[in-house]
Structure 1
Amino acid sequence: MRHFRRMAALEHVLGLLNWDQETQMPPKGGDIRVEEVGAVAAAHHAALCDPRIEDWAASCGAAEPGSWAEAHVAEALRLHRRAVRLPATLAEDLARQSARAQMIWEKARPTSDLGVFLPELGKLVALKRQEAECLRESDQPAYDALLAEFEPGASSAEIEAVFTRLRAALVSLRARIEAAGGASGELSGSFPAEQQLALAHRVAGLFGYDWAAGRLDLAVHPSSSGTGGDVRITTRIDEANPQDCFYSTIHEVGHAVYEQGLDPEQLLLPAGGHASMGVHESQSRLFENQLGRSRAFCEWLYPAMTATFGETGLSSPEALYRAVNAVRTGFIRTEADEVHYNLHIMMRFDLERDLISGALDVSDLPEAWNSRFEADFGMKVPDAARGCMQDVHWSAGLFGYFPTYALGNIYAGELHAALRRDMPDLDTALGAGEIGGVRDWLGARIHRLGRKHAPAALIAAACGAEPSEGALLGYLEEKYWALYGV
């Protein structure tokens, strides 16, 4: 455990280097940052491949079933046996190229410069294909070996089956909403950056973010990083649209509260971290959507916005509620409403599987993206910044991450139903901006349990039912029936 604590510390150093790269690093720091990231990644990989780990695990003997000891040893062996299949040079090259490609993406995205971006992405995809071949089991699709990094135990076939059912229901709901018409209002007015940040700080605190263990900065793509007593979040600001800042912040606070709420006695140990990225995304999507976009929370947010900005273009909390839940087709995933969001994820899931399998070349990605987007959303993509360059994930090497957003939405649907069952006064608390009870509920059932249980089993135990898309779809049908009469 001492050995794994040191390895976890190295992993969090990598996270700090990435946070600094996104928020503080001077423009000329890129070359040395690539070297720094490569060196730390190499040290982390070497420690994880230490052959003594097998001997130490064997010497432990049998642990009490369901104990932390049993979970730590099992997770330590899983991580070790995965790492030894990856050559040291490849692990370092992946870290270096991910850092380099992400910096290139940040520079190229504003001008949609595919000529600069695609060659770097191509180098990274080639490395990820090598990684997948090293890690995959003989009968396993290459993509599933990468998916296991984010959602242990999941398979692309199972996810595809869920997505097929989910897609049919969402497309039907979207069609009914479009047929119903009835445009919702929009925010309008002056929303200065400094005032947006001030209100974002207030909102983060309401949702349980511990400011003594974190900070908020600006970045190209909102994120959360760190664990325990140092969990940092970033957001972004559009002075014409404060929704982006507020809901990006609430989303990242969901991640951060999870990391701040892990059991401190198990921190940095193999099973002491988050259960999976699907569970992680369930926390952020629950905060952002079922809680943050609720009619009850708009009762708190509306007067807070008018006190901060003055005129907002909306006349009441109900008008704000309708505005933040308007269903409109758009290009940007992070700005998508709850009906369209999972359709964005399904498209990325299919594209990244083809990139890893080799069915899709990186040079053909823009055209594949644009064709698929027009087929799914009925709109022509105007530029790469609103197309295949909009997300940071691929440039950061996070292939296999995207489907966990949709899994997170499904898990959030179950958690929301259980929350409403166990906290009948939830709306009263949301309307008053008193949300500490939600953090306590999640802390006992999700946060403090770390990785003791498999993701689906953790959600089932918390909610009393096996997770499925039913709870999410029921929530969406009820919500949009009330808003649009569909």
Structure 2
Amino acid sequence: MSAYDELMEFQRETEALSQVAGRLGWDQETMMPRGAAPQRGEEMAAMEGVLHARRVDSRIADWLDTIEESSLDEVGHANLRHIRRDYDRATKVPAKLAARIARVTSQAQGIWAQAREDESVAAFLPTLAEVIALKREEGQALAAGGDVYDAMLQDYEPGTTAAALEAMFGALRPELTSLREAVRAAEAPPVLEGVFDEAAQMKLTRQLAKTFGYDMSMGRVDKAVHPFASGSGLDVRITTRTNALDPFNCLYSTIHEVGHACYEQSIDPAYLLTPLGKGVSMGVHESQSRIYENQLGRSRAFTGWLFDQMNEAFGDIGVKDADTFYRIVNRVSEGFIRTEADELQYNLHVLMRFDLERALMSGDLAVEDVEAAWNERFAADFGYAVDRPSNGVLQDVHWSVGLFGYFPTYTLGNVYAGCLNEAMRPAIPTLDEDLAKGDTNKATAWLKQAVQTHGGLYEPRDVIARAIGKEPSEEPLLRYLKAKFMDIYKIG
């Protein structure tokens, strides 16, 4: 075997073990009894210890030095790019620190869930302080004297910086705020009222998953407190949640997670259990979940079809016609929860978190002051006060599990989705006609060919640039949002 072959054989075993670790996380969120949390923390720490040892194995450096890169094709070069980047990062983090982070964040997840249920920020703050201290230590090791938050971003969006994101977000915020104020001054659509059977929601949500191309023979849909997708290759699972008074929460959470799952299921099978066999970044990943959920799933055409499915699933839902249903689905409403926010306000939730977590990592915001800072910023950005912790600083799981640097990729994904939507529509002249029949095949095929099949072959921003034929920017997203909501709210 050549040095490259030996390296890739080693890497496949590491990727397989990583999938096993991911399955432990899925189980913790969906099936694991709550009392098992301390043991699961030890199990996750043990797995992380094994994985970290493999990631820093000195043979990787030897293989990288030995391989004659001029003999490799594009795929080989891409594999080495990922392996070299991961090795360089892993060797900067001490094994004991990596294992401790895995143990603490696994246990923190259960502590956060209980604190959220009890509406007790105080019960979570000591654990959050420990997580932040550990992640800051990790970030300092990775940054090697550079910006700690920039170092953290590389885990989720390689190649980006906080400064670049701040510039993009700075361009978005005033435009989004201005449009929202115009919408608030206009007459609002009605709201969906009634009680919607949760078993019927799950039945319809599984139908929607298949409608958007999710292969249930290699996946499953379960319930979790916080919807997520897990896995890659031949085993990609999603979760959703139900609320008898809000069926859209379930349906659109599912479509969103299906976007993530279809990305993973659509990657070139030749990349299975290699560095290229998973989504290239969270920003690109989010572009798929958001375009499935919003530009496709909340479009006038698709909601016309969904209107009929809702009436079939639940009986008369009290909405007079498909146009009214479209306006209800896209209603801009006051609310506290990021995952339930309308398209117009969603990014304002993310921008707030981006600023707060940067301040936490830099030490400019003390952990004991995070609830007050959250509530103050929320009131300033949204114009009303947070009513309880589960609707405020305790609503998201991310900080409890150490995902600092993850939040901004949500808005970056929305920006990418805006770019992809603008490129996709002229490429599929019959798109709205298809969606009106509940047919997403052409749209999902276009996204598969343009984005999903490549996996990690290209750098994140390059994936989008290649798909749209130019450098991505926030302008297509702003054009889309303005056109959509000015039409719905009859502005201008």
**Residue aligned with 2:230, SS:** strand
Are residues 1:91 and 2:95 paired?
no
SS at match of 1:340: helix
Q: Which residue of 2 aligns with 1:336?
A: 341
Task: Compute the displacement of 1:66 (Å).
Answer: 6.5
Letter in 1 for 2:166: E
Question: Structure 2: how far apart are the matches of 1:177 and 1:163?
Answer: 21
What is residue 287 of structure 2 aligned with on the other side? 282
Shift of 1:62: 2.0
1:148 maps to which residue? 154
* 1:261 counterpart (239, 258, 266): 266
Map 1:159-238 onto structure 2 (within 5 A): 159-179=165-185, 181-238=186-243
User: Could you tell me which amino acid in structure 1 is paired with residue 206 of structure 2?
Assistant: H
Q: Does 1:384 align with 2:378?
A: no
The alpha-carbon deviation at position 485 of structure 1 amounts to: 2.3
User: For the Cα contact (< 8 Å) 1:283–1:412, is it kept in 2?
Assistant: yes
Letter matched to residue 51 of structure 1: S
1:64, CA displacement in angstroms?
6.0
SS at structure 2 position matched to 1:327 = coil
Whole-angstrom distance in 2 between the partners of 1:64 and 1:223: 40
Residue number in structure 2 paired with 1:248: 253
* C-alpha separation in 1, matches of 2:144 and 2:414: 29
2:107 alignment partner in structure 1: 100
Residue number among 1, 4, 27 corresponding to 2:11 in the alignment: 4
The answer on whether the counterparts of 2:34 and 2:110 sit within 8 Å (CA) in structure 1 is: no
Alignment partner of 1:424 is 2:429 = yes
Shift of 1:163: 0.5
Contact 1:332-1:390 at 8 Å conserved across structures: yes
Query: Structure 1, residues 241-276: CA drift from partner, whole Å, max 9, x if none?
Result: 100000000000000000111111112212332111
Are residue 439 (structure 1) and residue 444 (structure 2) matched? yes
CA contact (8 A) 1:189 1:311 kept: no
Query: Is the 8 Å Cα contact of residues 12 and 226 (structure 1) preserved in structure 2?
Result: yes
The alignment partner of 1:329 has SS state of: coil
Residues 299-327 of structure 1, C-alpha deviation per residue, up to 9 Å, x if partnerless?
Answer: 11001100110121211111111001111
Measured in 2, the distance between the counterparts of 1:230 and 1:217 equals 14
Query: What amino acid sits opposite 1:167 in the alignment?
Result: R
Looking at structure 1, the residues matched to 46 and 262 of structure 2 have their Cα atoms a distance apart, in angstroms, of 30
Matched residue count: 484
Paired residue for 1:136, among 120, 139, 143? 143
User: Aligned partners of 2:321 and 2:424: how far apart in 1?
Assistant: 27
CA displacement, residues 324-371 of structure 1 (integer Å, 9 cap, x when unaligned): 111123111011111111110000000000111111111110000000
- For 2:158, the aligned partner's letter is P
Matched-pair contact (CA < 8 Å) for 2:420–2:464: yes
With 260-269 and 246-255 compared, the bigger mean Cα shift is at: 260-269
State the alpha-carbon separation in 2 of the partners of residues 286 and 254 from structure 1.
8
In the alignment, which of 124, 141, 162 is matched to residue 117 of structure 1? 124
The one of 358, 361, 366 equivalent to 1:361 is 366
Q: Which moved more, 1:107-116 or 1:422-431?
A: 107-116
Q: Distance in 2 between matches of 1:67 and 1:435?
A: 31
Partner of 1:347: 352
Q: Which residue of 1 aligns with 2:302?
A: 297
- TM-score, structure 2 length as denominator? 0.97
Q: What is the aligned counterpart of 1:67 among 70, 74, 83?
A: 74
Unaligned runs of 5+ in 2: 1-7
The CA distance in 1 between the partners of 2:422 and 2:403, in whole Å, is: 30
Residue type at the aligned position of 1:101: A
- Give a deviation string over 1:388-447, Cα, whole Å, max 9, x none: 000111111111000000000000001111110110111111111111222221111111
- Aligned AA (1:93): R
Between stretches 443-452 and 147-156, larger displacement belongs to 443-452
Q: What SS is found at the alignment partner of 2:238?
A: strand
Q: Within the alignment, does 1:311 sit opposite 2:316 as a pair?
A: yes
Q: Which has the higher mean CA deviation after the structures are superposed, 181-190 or 192-201? A: 181-190
Matches of 1:112 and 1:127, distance apart in 2:
25
Amino acid at match of 1:395: S
Distance 1:66 1:443 in 2: 22
- Equivalents in 2 of 1:317, 1:113: separation in Å? 42
Contact kept, 8 Å, 1:132 with 1:142, in 2: the verdict is yes
Q: Which letter does structure 2 place at the counterpart of 1:112?
A: E
Question: Structure 2: how far apart are the matches of 1:90 and 1:6?
Answer: 23
Asked if 1 retains the 8 angstrom alpha-carbon contact of 2:89 and 2:142, the reply is yes
8 Å Cα contact 2:150-2:162 kept in structure 1: yes
Structure 2 equivalent of residue 483 of structure 1: 488
Equivalent residue, structure 1, for 2:89: 82
- The runs of at least 4 aligned residues of structure 1 exceeding 3 Å deviation read 63-66
Q: Unaligned stretches of 5+ in structure 1?
A: none
Alignment equivalent of 1:31, drawn from 32, 38, 47: 38
Following the alignment from structure 1 to structure 2, what is the Cα–Cα distance between the partners of residues 178 and 443? 37
Query: Are the aligned partners of 1:221 and 1:235 in contact in 2 as well (CA < 8 Å)?
Result: yes
Q: Give the secondary-structure state (helix, strand or coil) at the position aligned to 2:79.
A: helix
Q: CA deviation at 1:8?
A: 1.1
Q: Once the 2 structures are TM-superposed, how far is the Cα of residue 189 of structure 1 from its aligned partner?
A: 2.0
* Matches of 2:292 and 2:441, distance apart in 1: 12
SS in 1 for 2:236: strand
1: CA distance, partners of 2:190 / 2:415: 28
- Shift in Å, 1:27: 2.3
C-alpha distance in structure 2 between counterparts of 1:176 and 1:382, whole Å: 25
2:196–2:244 contact (8 Å) kept in structure 1: yes
Separation in 1, partners of 2:156, 2:273: 17
Q: Would you say 1:16 and 2:62 are equivalent positions?
A: no
SS at structure 1 position matched to 2:344: coil
Range moving further from structure 2, 75-84 or 438-447: 438-447
Q: In 2, Cα distance between the equivalents of 1:270 and 1:27?
A: 33
CA deviation digits over 1:51-100, x for unaligned, max 9? Answer: 11111112221246861001001111110010000000000011111111
SS in 1 for 2:83: helix
Which residue pairs with 2:453 in the alignment? Answer: 448
* Equivalent residue number for residue 63 of structure 2: 56
- What RMSD, in angstroms, separates the aligned Cα atoms of the two structures? 1.1
Counterpart of 2:418, as a letter, is G
Contact 2:93–2:142 under 8 Å retained in 1: yes
